[in-house]
Amino acid sequence: MTLNDQSPQRRSRWRFAPLAVAVCGLAVGYALGWQEYLSLSYLADSQETLKQAVAANRGLAMAAFGLLYTLAVAFSFPAASALTIFGGFLFGWLAGGLIVAVAATLGATLIFLAARSAFGETLLRRADGAANKLAQGFQDNGFLYLLALRLAPIFPFFVVNVAPALFNISVRTYVAATLIGILPATFVYAYLGQSIESVLMAARQSGRTPSIADLVTPQLQLAFLLLALLALVPIIVRRMRGAQKP
């Protein structure tokens, strides 16, 4: 076998490298127990220490938090909601929300590129039947589909980060839909984080562990779902018009 014959095989194997790095990073993080520091329990126990660190050097703290958020999303740690609340608590709803929006979009784009490099083209070539129709739908309306998924935080954030990589969605579309779609939930969670001290105090007094459920009400989840349905209206109208044409 010649060198030219081996080259495509080597490139094929290397396409899994970015995703392998992400998986290894997630495994190492869990092995070292980093997930314990990305929870509301840690925030409840360390709120004074964290506030003092931000007061000592706010600019450095904002940069460090943005990097931490980017890496957490890129390595698919299921802690986006808790970290967004951290951002609002530490920096206020506006500054914290802006940091989270940029960092979350960057981290999501990194894992999207890694997943697309590993699986995207292969699965598209093998897709048939319903899978092919779904892929075609994403290709035709990728921005609106992804925007709806981002607006309604029904599915885990890391699932929505990876799933579009299985379809033919451009990086530009992915970044735009992600950044716009996460803004409502980001600023809501950051605002909740800005006023979370009373929730943490109540949880501590009752002897229970604080959780996201203490902050996110069913009414708030319903509002996010309605926003997602609103994003799908143009697709529905377009298909209805298409069905009416002879």
pLDDT by residue for the chain (246 residues), tens only, comes to 444 544 555 556 677 777 788 889 889 888 888 888 888 888 888 889 999 999 999 999 999 999 999 999 999 888 888 899 999 999 999 999 999 999 999 999 999 998 888 776 555 555 444 445 556 666 667 788 888 888 876 778 888 888 888 777 889 999 999 999 999 889 988 998 888 877 777 666 676 667 676 677 666 667 777 777 777 776 666 666 555 554
| Sequence letter at residue 156 | P
Quickly count: other Cβ atoms within 10 Å of residue 139's Cβ: 15
Question: pTM score, two decimals?
Answer: 0.80
How high is the pLDDT of residue 11?
A: 55
Query: What are the percentages of helix, strand and coil residues in the chain, rounded to 5?
Result: 85, 0, 15
- 38: three-class secondary structure by DSSP: coil
